[in-house]
C-alpha cells in the first residue's frame, strides 16, 4: 500500500478537508453575486482580525509577489531602505530593492541570532530611510524577529515605513497591523493559513496608502495598489481575474481561525513548537535559533555529527513525512520541519515517530521512543 504523505515542510502545509472542498468547487464567475459577497466578507474579516483601518489586498501570486508589491508601492529609485536580515528571505529584499535602483543598507545577523534592537535604532538615527524591511520569521533560520518592539522604536522615526514579511508567521504569530505600527504586512496562503499556494495577501495601513499616493504613477502594473483598490472595494469590478477557488479556500481558513480564535491559535502554535523542539532536542538534534527568538512555525534542526542528510530525508519520505533541507551554509547539516497551520496532535505524533524511524534507519544514534516520550510529556503538560 502507498504510504500517506504528510507535508511537514515549512510551507505548503497540510490542507484540511473543509479547505480542500473549497478548492474542488465548481469555479464561479468573479461577478457572481455569491462570490462577490464571499470575497467582500473575507476582506472585511482580514481587516478586522489583523486590525487595520487601512486596506487589505488578496491577489493571485506567492509571498514573493507580496514582497514586490510592498516595495513597488512604497519606494522609488533613489530612495533608501534599511533591510534587517535574519537569513535567506531577509536577504531577498536586498536584491528586490537594488534591482529597482533603491539604495540598500543591510543589517544582517549571524544565522540563528537576531540583529539587536539598539543596532537597528542606531542605523535609523544615522540616515533618513524611507522604509525598513523585517522578515517576521526567516524560514532559512527559524529566527523570529521582535516585530512589536521594532514597531515601538519606529514610532520615533515616522518617515520610515515599516514593511513586515509575514510569509512564515501570519496566522501563527501575533501581527496586529495598526497596534504594532506595521505599515505593510505581506504573506502567502500556503503556510500558517493552511491553504494551497497561490495567493499573496497584503495589508497596507494609512501611512502606506499615503506613501503610495505620493508616488503618482508607478511603473508596475499588476501589483499597483491603485489598480487593485477598486476591486478590493467592489470585487464585481474587473482588473485581473481573481483566483476564485483560492479565495473561497482562504475564506474557509479564516472561518476556521475565527472558530479557534486568533489568540488561541497563537497559543496553540507556541505549545506545538515547544513540544516538537523538546522532543527533537531529546533525540540529539540542535535547534539553530537562539532560545529567546525561536519561531513557532518551524524548527531548523542541526544534525548530530556524522548524520547523512540525504539518506535521512530520503528514508523519512519513505516513512511518509516530507521535510525540507537546510539552505546556504546549512545545506547538508540541517533539516527544516514545519509545524504550523491546521495540524493537530495526530500529525505531530506521526511526524515524530517517522523521524525516529528514519533516524535509526539512516544511522543517526537515537533511541526509539525518546523523542516521543518528550513530546507526549509536553502535550500532556499543555493539556493541563
Residue 34: Cβ within 10 Å count: 9
Sign of CA dihedral 282, 286, 291, 294: negative
Residue 50 vs 89, nearer CB to ligand PMP = 89
Residues of this chain, 349-378, that bind ligand PMP according to CB under 6 A: none
Among 6, 8, 11, 272, contact with ligand PMP (rule: CB under 6 A)? 11
20, 40, 64, 245: which one contacts ligand PMP (CB under 6 A)? 64
Residues 6 or more apart whose Cβ sits within 8 Å of residue 381: none
Distance CA(86)–CA(89), nearest Å, equals: 8
Residue 141 binds ligand PMP, judged by CB under 6 A: no
CA 185 to chain centre: 10
Q: Which residues have C-beta within 8 Å of that of residue 254, sequence separation ≥ 6?
A: 42, 45, 46, 49, 193
Please provide the DSSP assignment of 29-60 as one string: PTT-HHHHHHHHHHHHHHHHHTT-SSEEEEEE
Identity of the residue, 200 or 348, whose beta carbon is nearer to ligand PMP in the bound complex: 200
Pick one of 168, 250, 280, 295: the residue that binds ligand PMP (CB under 6 A). Answer: 168
Smaller CB distance to ligand PMP: residue 46 or 145? 145
Work out which of 20, 40, 62, 376 binds ligand PMP, going by CB under 6 A. 62
- Using rule CB under 6 A, residue 181 touches ligand PMP: no
Hey, CA dihedral for 118, 122, 125, 129, is it positive or negative?
negative
Which of helix, strand or coil describes residue 356? helix
Stretch of 17-25, 59-67, 258-266, 350-358 contacting ligand PMP, by CB under 6 A: 59-67
Does residue 139 bind ligand PMP (CB under 6 A)? yes
With contact defined as beta carbons under 8 Å apart, do 163 and 183 qualify?
A: yes
**Nearest residue to ligand PMP, using CB?**
63
* Range in contact with ligand PMP (rule: CB under 6 A) among 111-119, 133-141, 353-361, 375-383: 133-141
- Least distance in Å: CB of 33 to ligand PMP? 31
Spatial neighbors of 22 by CB under 8 A, at least 6 apart, are 245, 248, 249, 251, 252
Q: CA–CA separation, 40 vs 25, rounded Å?
A: 19
- Of 20 and 62, the one with the shorter C-beta distance to ligand PMP is 62
Instruction: Please report whether residue 96 would count as binding ligand PMP according to CB under 6 A.
Output: no
> Rule CB under 6 A: is residue 165 a binding residue for ligand PMP?
yes
Which three three-digit cell numbers place residue 49? 482580525
Scanning 17-25, 116-124, 134-142, 266-274 for contacts with ligand PMP by CB under 6 A, the matching segment is 134-142
Tell me if 188 contacts ligand PMP by CB under 6 A. yes
3-state secondary structure of 93: helix
Residues that bind ligand PMP (CB under 6 A): 11, 62-64, 89, 135, 138-139, 165, 167-168, 188
Amino acid at each position: 500500500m502507498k504510504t500517506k504523505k504528510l507535508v511537514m515542510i515549512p510551507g505548503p502545509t497540510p490542507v484540511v478537508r473543509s479547505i480542500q472542498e473549497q478548492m474542488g468547487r465548481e469555479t464561479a464567475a468573479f461577478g457572481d453575486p455569491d462570490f462577490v459577497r464571499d470575497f467582500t466578507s473575507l476582506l472585511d474579516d482580514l481587516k478586522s482580525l489583523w486590525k487595520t483601518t487601512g486596506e487589505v489586498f488578496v491577489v493571485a501570486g506567492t509571498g514573493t509577489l507580496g514582497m514586490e508589491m510592498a516595495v513597488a508601492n512604497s519606494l522609488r529609485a533613489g530612495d533608501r531602505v534599511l533591510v534587517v536580515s535574519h537569513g535567506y528571505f531577509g536577504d531577498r529584499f536586498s536584491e528586490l530593492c537594488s534591482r529597482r535602483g533603491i539604495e540598500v543598507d543591510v543589517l544582517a545577523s549571524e544565522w540563528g541570532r537576531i540583529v539587536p534592537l539598539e543596532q537597528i535604532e542606531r542605523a535609523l538615527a544615522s540616515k533618513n530611510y524611507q522604509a525598513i524591511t523585517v522578515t517576521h520569521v526567516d524560514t532559512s533560520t527559524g529566527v523570529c524577529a521582535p516585530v512589536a518592539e521594532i514597531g515601538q522604536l519606529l514610532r520615533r522615526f515616522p518617515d520610515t515605513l515599516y514593511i513586515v514579511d509575514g510569509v512564515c508567521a501570519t496566522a501563527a504569530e501575533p501581527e496586529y497591523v495598526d497596534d504594532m505600527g506595521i505599515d505593510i504586512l505581506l504573506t502567502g496562503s500556503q503556510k500558517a493559513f493552511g491553504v494551497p499556494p497561490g495567493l499573496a495577501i497584503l495589508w497596507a495601513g494609512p501611512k502606506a496608502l499615503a506613501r503610495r499616493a505620493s508616488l503618482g504613477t508607478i511603473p508596475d502594473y499588476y501589483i499597483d495598489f491603485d489598480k487593485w483598490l477598486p476591486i478590493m472595494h467592489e470585487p464585481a469590478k474587473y482588473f485581473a481575474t481573481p483566483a476564485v477557488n483560492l479565495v473561497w479556500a482562504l475564506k474557509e481558513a479564516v472561518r476556521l481561525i475565527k472558530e479557534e480564535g486568533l489568540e488561541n491559535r497563537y497559543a496553540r502554535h507556541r505549545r506545538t513548537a515547544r513540544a516538537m523542539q523538546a522532543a527533537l532536542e531529546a533525540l540529539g538534534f540542535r535547534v539553530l535559533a537562539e532560545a529567546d527568538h525561536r519561531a513557532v512555525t518551524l524548527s531548523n534542526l542541526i544534525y548530530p555529527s556524522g548524520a547523512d542528510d540525504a539518506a535521512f530525508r530520503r528514508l523519512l519520505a519513505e516513512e511518509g513525512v516530507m521535510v525540507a533541507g537546510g539552505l546556504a551554509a546549512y545545506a547538508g547539516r540541517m533539516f527544516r520541519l514545519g509545524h504550523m497551520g491546521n495540524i493537530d496532535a495526530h500529525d505531530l505524533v506521526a511526524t515524530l515517530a517517522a523521524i525516529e524511524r528514519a533516524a535509526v534507519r539512516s544511522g543517526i544514534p537515537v533511541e526509539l521512543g525518546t523523542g516521543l516520550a518528550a513530546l507526549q510529556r509536553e502535550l500532556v503538560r499543555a493539556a493541563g
